[in-house]
């Protein structure tokens, strides 16, 4: 296994454009026009590296491109010890690509009303599992078009490195997957885009729509960086297959901005920025002394997702061009 094939180096993104890497690190919930804020580590795996690598520290360009570049690695090439630690502490368990494919196929079976649309699953004699990509152009059921498909919203919860969205490599064994065999939800949309567009302008517009329809959230900052990078490089991969060259920087920047909105850092049980709920201390002063009271977050106390005092995460509703809180999409009891 050549790690260079699956491990995207942040310094390479920085050398393309510092603004490009900056977009992939941005936290859209906490950032303002005056004060940009980055996603934070949200893991102690790097704490022994000192200042800038503690649990609550933001992930900065400097922390991942200088002398400590390449510290963020896909799970498949992390040390066995770190893999086990993250499984114990954060229940981090990644799914093999063949299972991602099987589950993604179920989504498409329901949407298309038939099976084996993008591939046929195969059980090999040695006990392993694989798939055979379908040949020819994808056809669509009556009443549905290819544009309907690429605009259909899809969400990967607790996405880790986003193996259900994009499949540049098998996140368990680390084996690269060629473009024509990829099985992610976004991969399928980009296949359809490639089959139904001709010019670069047509392709870019359709691909941007596909990216605007793909969402995912993750707690740990390093995983989030990997997921965002994977989505960016997937864009490059499919463009190169279609046109034989790399996309222009302005196209990459636009996609990176979409990714920074759609793949975000969140506590999935509370819909807030991780660890942002707090205990509120109130001091009451009377004539003789003072009394301090402590009030726990009501949402945490009552297990009510709509009553947390943490920072509710924001995402972009691209169809209406507005920013909404993710929790607002969840119906109240």
**pLDDT one-digit tens code per residue, 285-326:** 666 666 777 789 999 999 999 999 999 999 999 999 999 999
The residue whose two tokens read 């106390």 is: 301
> pLDDT confidence of 15, banded at 50, 70, 90?
very high
Choose among 135, 142, 99, 103: nearest CA to 118: 135
Cα separation, 231 vs 313, whole angstroms:
20
C-alpha to C-alpha distance for 285 and 103, rounded to whole angstroms: 59
Burial of 203: CB neighbours in 10 Å, binned 0-12, 13-18, 19+: buried
Q: Hunting for tokens 């086990």 — which residue is that?
A: 84
- Predicted confidence at residue 174, as pLDDT, reads 80
Neighbours of 113 (CB within 10 A): 11
pTM recorded for the entire structure: 0.91
Concatenated DSSP letters of 285-309:
E-SS-EEEEEE--HHHHHT-TT---
Alpha-carbon distance values, 324 to 13, 114, 124, 330 (Å): 29, 35, 46, 12
DSSP string computed for 125-193 = TTS-EEEEEPPSPPP--TT--HHHHHHS-EEETT-TT-TTT--SB-TTT--B--GGG--SHHHHHHHHH
DSSP state of 291: E
How far apart, in whole angstroms, are the C-alpha atoms of residue 166 and residue 57? 28
Q: pLDDT, tens digit, for every residue of 124-155?
A: 999 889 999 999 999 999 999 999 999 999 99
Quote the mean pLDDT of the chain.
91
Residue 218: strand pairing partners = 265
DSSP state of 119: E
Q: Which of 88-102, 109-123, 133-147, 195-209 has the lowest mean pLDDT?
A: 88-102
The gap between the terminal CA atoms of the chain, to the nearest Å, is: 49
Give the SS3 label for residue 240.
helix
| Residue (of 229, 246, 76, 249) closest to 166 by Cα position | 229
Q: Which residue has the tokens 């509120």?
A: 280
Place of tokens 């360009």: 61
pLDDT at 2: 34
Contact 266, 274 (CB under 8 A): yes
């Amino acid at each position: 296994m050549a790690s260079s094939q699956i491990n995207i180096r942040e310094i390479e993104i920085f050398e393309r454009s510092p603004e490009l890497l900056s977009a992939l690190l941005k936290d859209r919930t906490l950032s303002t026009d005056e004060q940009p804020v980055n996603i934070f580590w949200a893991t102690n795996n790097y704490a022994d590296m000192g200042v800038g690598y503690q649990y609550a520290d933001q992930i900065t360009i400097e922390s991942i491109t200088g002398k400590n570049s390449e510290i963020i690695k896909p799970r498949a090439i992390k040390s066995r010890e770190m893999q086990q630690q993250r499984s114990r502490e954060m229940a981090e368990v990644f799914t093999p690509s063949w299972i991602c494919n099987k589950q993604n196929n179920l989504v498409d079976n329901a949407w298309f009303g038939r099976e084996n649309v993008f591939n046929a699953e195969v059980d090999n004699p040695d006990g392993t599992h694989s798939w055979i990509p379908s040949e020819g152009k994808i056809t669509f059921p009556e009443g549905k078009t290819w544009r309907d498909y690429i605009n259909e919203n899809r969400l990967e919860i607790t996405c880790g490195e986003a193996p259900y969205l994009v499949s540049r490599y098998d996140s368990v064994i680390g084996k690269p997957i060629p473009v024509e065999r990829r099985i992610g939800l976004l991969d399928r949309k980009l296949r359809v885009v490639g089959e139904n567009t001709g010019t670069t302008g047509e392709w870019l517009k359709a691909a941007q729509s596909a990216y605007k329809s793909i969402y995912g959230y993750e707690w740990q900052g390093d995983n989030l960086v990997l997921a965002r990078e994977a989505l960016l490089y997937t864009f490059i991969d499919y463009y190169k297959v279609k046109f034989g060259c790399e996309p222009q920087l302005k196209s990459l920047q636009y996609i990176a901005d979409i990714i920074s909105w759609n793949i975000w850092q969140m506590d999935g049980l509370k819909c807030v920025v991780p660890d942002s709920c707090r205990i509120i201390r109130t001091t009451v002063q009377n004539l003789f002394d003072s009394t301090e009271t402590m009030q726990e977050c009501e949402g945490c106390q009552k297990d009510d997702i709509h009553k947390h005092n943490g920072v509710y995460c924001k995402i972009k509703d691209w169809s209406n061009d507005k920013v909404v809180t993710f929790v607002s999409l969840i119906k109240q009891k």
